[in-house]
Structure 1
Amino acid sequence: MRFHYNKTILSLALSFFFLQGCAKNDQFLPLKDGEMLHFTATIPDELEALPLYAMYRSEICRKESRTANMKSYTVPGYHRERYPLAILSPNKIEASIPKFDEGKCDWKLSNIVFEIKLKDPTKVDPLISDNLGKKITFVLDDNAPAAFDGGYEKRSGDINEQLILFPLIIENFVGGHDKSFWLIARYETMTYKSKKSKNININIDYKSNMKTYRIGIKKPDNGESPKFIYPNGVQEKTNWLFPEYKKLVEILEFNDKK
C-alpha cells in the first residue's frame, strides 16, 4: 500500500522540522585552522574595554518571523558569542575571532561590537550614578546589526581608525537629583562596514580635559530650559540630549592652536 501525501502539508512539515532541528543544534563550533579576524585597540588609562560581542549569521538555521498581518517568513538565524580581550601592553588589547564554524548551521561572522566605558566615574564626580560608554560596531556582511541608525562608515579591506571621544556629564533634577556620564563620538551610533577585513585596529583618543555639562531643568514650571556648558565655558540653551560633536572639535582645535 502506498500513501499519497499533500505536497503543501509535507513541505510545511519538513520546514517546521528543519527549523526546529536547527534550533536544537545551533551550537557554534569554530572551524579548525579557519580564518580569524584579528582585533586590536589602544585605549587610555581612564577607560576600560568590555569583552567583544560577536554576532554570527546562518542561512541554514533560519529563524521564523511574522509580518504585521501575521504572515510567516524566515530570516537568517543568529548566534552570539563573547570574546575576552587579552592585554598586549598597558594600553593595548587584542582578540582573535573565528570567522566561520564547522557545525550544522554553517555560522559566519556578521559583526562585532567593541564597547568602552569610563573605568572609575568617582574620579570625575562622586555623584555619578550611571556610567554610559560607547559601542562601536564593525559589520562584515550585508546584515544590519542589532543597534543601527541606517548609516555606515564604509571602508575597504582592513580597518585602521582613530576615534576622538569627549566626556559629557548630564545633571538631572526631575524626580530627584542624579548625574550620568557619557562618551561622545562623531555619531551617536558608530557603525563601520567592510566585508573583507582581516584586521581591525582602533586607537581611542579620549579628551578627558574637555568636559561638557548638560544641566537639566530644576523647576519645570518656571520657564527654564536645559543648557550645555562647553569646555571653553560657553553656555547654550538646548533641547538636545547631546552636544554637537563638530562644536567640540572646533573648541579642541582652537585650544591646540594656543
Structure 2
Amino acid sequence: MPLRISVGLFVVFFSLSGCGQDYSLSPPADSEQITVTVKVPKELKAKTMKVMYRSATCKRISQGPSGQRLESDGHHGFDVQLKRQGQSDLYQVKLPKDGGGACRWHLANVTFGVDYADPSRFGESVTTGGGGGVVVVFDHKNSPRGGTGIEVKGDLTIKKDYYPWIIESFIGRYEKDISLLGESRTYYLNYQALQAKDVYFEPILHSGFLVHSVGPKVKEKGNYAVFTYPDGTVEAIARAQPDFRKLQAIRLAAEHKK
C-alpha cells in the first residue's frame, strides 16, 4: 500500500507490505509547523535531512527470541532536502508536528547538519568524513542514534565552533577524509526539544585552523595516532580525536595577537 505525505513543497512516497489499513500521513491543514533552519558557511553544504514520524496507534509487530509477539510504535522515515532561502546562506524546511492520518502520526525526530561541499579541495583522494551533525528529538522516545539528548525548553538555537580535521588511516586500507571537529565527542549533537517550534543551527567554521591526524600503520601496543595542530604542535597520544579545547586556545591566542 503506498504511503503519501505532502508537506509544503515536497511529496514523499512510502510503501508498507502486508498492511490492512490506511497508513498514509495526512497532516491536517491547521497542524503546528516546526521550522528547521541551518546557516551554511560557504565551504560547506547542508546535509540531506532524515525525518521520522511515529505512531502509537499503528504498531509494528515483531517476534522475540522465544517466538513471543513484540509490539512497538510504528514509524516511517524519509529524506528531505533543505531549501535555500533566496540568495542567502540560510537553508530551511518546515515540517508538520501532527502527521495526521488514521495512524495519528507525530513528528518524532530529525537528523541534519553540514559537511564539506568539495572535499577534493584537500587533495584528490580526500573524501567526506563525519562531524557537523545534529539530532533533535520532539517526543520521549530515543533517537535513531540512541538516547533523547540534552533537554531544552522552548525553541532551540545551536551555535557551535568547528574545525577542519584531515584524518589519514592506514590499517585495513588507506583512507583520507576531511571531517568537522566540534566540542562533542561524537559526530552528532543530540537534543530533546519537546516544545520547540523553531530549530536554528549555525555552525561556525574556523577554516584557517586545520588539524591533521595520521593513524598508525601497524596495530601494536604503544602505536598511537599523531596529531598536528595549526600552531605546529605535534602529539602522539592515545586519543580518539584532536583536543578541541587546545584548538580553541590556539585560535583565540592567534586572534588576540591581531
Give the TM-score category using the shorter length. 0.7 to 0.9
Q: Distance in 2 between matches of 1:256 and 1:69?
A: 62
Q: Which amino acid in structure 2 is aligned with residue 52 of structure 1?
A: M
CA displacement at 1:221 relative to structure 2: 6.5
Q: Does 1:213 align with 2:224?
A: no
Q: Does 1:123 align with 2:121?
A: yes
Q: Does 1:165 align with 2:162?
A: yes
* 1:145-160 equivalences in 2 (<5 Å): 145-148=143-146, 150=147, 152-160=149-157
Decide which of 100, 104, 107 is 1:106's aligned counterpart. Answer: 104
* 1:30-49 equivalences in 2 (<5 Å): 30-49=27-46
The SS at the match of 1:122 is helix
Question: CA 1:63/1:236 → structure 2, altered by over 3 Å: closer, same or farther?
Answer: same
| TM-score w.r.t. length of structure 2 | 0.83
Give the structure 1 partner of residue 230 of structure 2: 231
| TM-score w.r.t. length of structure 1 | 0.83
Decide which of 173, 176, 179 is 2:176's aligned counterpart. Answer: 179
Q: Which amino acid in structure 2 is aligned with residue 250 of structure 1?
A: A
Q: Which amino acid in structure 2 is aligned with residue 145 of structure 1?
A: S
Q: Larger strand proportion, structure 1 or 2? A: 2
CA displacement at 1:117 relative to structure 2: 1.0
- CA RMSD in angstroms comes to 2.3
Q: Which amino acid in structure 2 is aligned with residue 136 of structure 1?
A: V
Decide which of 126, 135, 138 is 2:136's aligned counterpart. Answer: 138
Question: CA 1:230/1:68 → structure 2, altered by over 3 Å: closer, same or farther?
Answer: farther
Q: Deviations 1:158-212 (Å, cap 9, x if unpaired)?
A: 1112121111111122344331121122211310111000011111101111111
Q: Which amino acid in structure 1 is aligned with residue 96 of structure 2?
A: P
Q: Which amino acid in structure 2 is aligned with residue 96 of structure 1?
A: K
Q: Does 1:191 align with 2:190?
A: yes
Q: Distance in 1 between matches of 2:62 and 2:244?
A: 38
* 1:77-96 equivalences in 2 (<5 Å): 77-88=74-85, 89-96=87-94
When structure 1 is superposed on structure 2, of 214-223 and 28-37 the one drifting more is 214-223
CA displacement at 1:109 relative to structure 2: 0.3
CA displacement at 1:69 relative to structure 2: 4.4
CA displacement at 1:96 relative to structure 2: 0.7
Contact 2:166 2:213 in 1 (8 A): yes
Q: Does 1:51 align with 2:48?
A: yes
Q: Larger helix proportion, structure 1 or 2? A: 1
Q: Distance in 1 between matches of 2:78 and 2:173?
A: 38
The SS at the match of 1:195 is coil
Q: Deviations 1:88-146 (Å, cap 9, x if unpaired)?
A: 13311111111112311110001111131100011122221344343201111101110
The SS at the match of 1:132 is coil
Give the structure 1 partner of residue 8 of structure 2: none
5+ residue gaps, structure 1: 1-18
When structure 1 is superposed on structure 2, of 183-192 and 222-231 the one drifting more is 222-231
Q: Deviations 1:40-77 (Å, cap 9, x if unpaired)?
A: 11111000012322111100011124445443321111
Q: Distance in 2 between matches of 1:39 and 1:206?
A: 20
Question: CA 1:126/1:20 → structure 2, altered by over 3 Å: closer, same or farther?
Answer: closer
Q: Distance in 1 between matches of 2:249 and 2:65?
A: 46
When structure 1 is superposed on structure 2, of 105-114 and 237-246 the one drifting more is 237-246
Give the structure 2 partner of residue 28 of structure 1: 25
Question: CA 1:225/1:102 → structure 2, altered by over 3 Å: closer, same or farther?
Answer: closer
State the identity %. Answer: 24
Q: Distance in 1 between matches of 2:83 and 2:197?
A: 18
Q: Distance in 1 between matches of 2:250 and 2:150?
A: 24
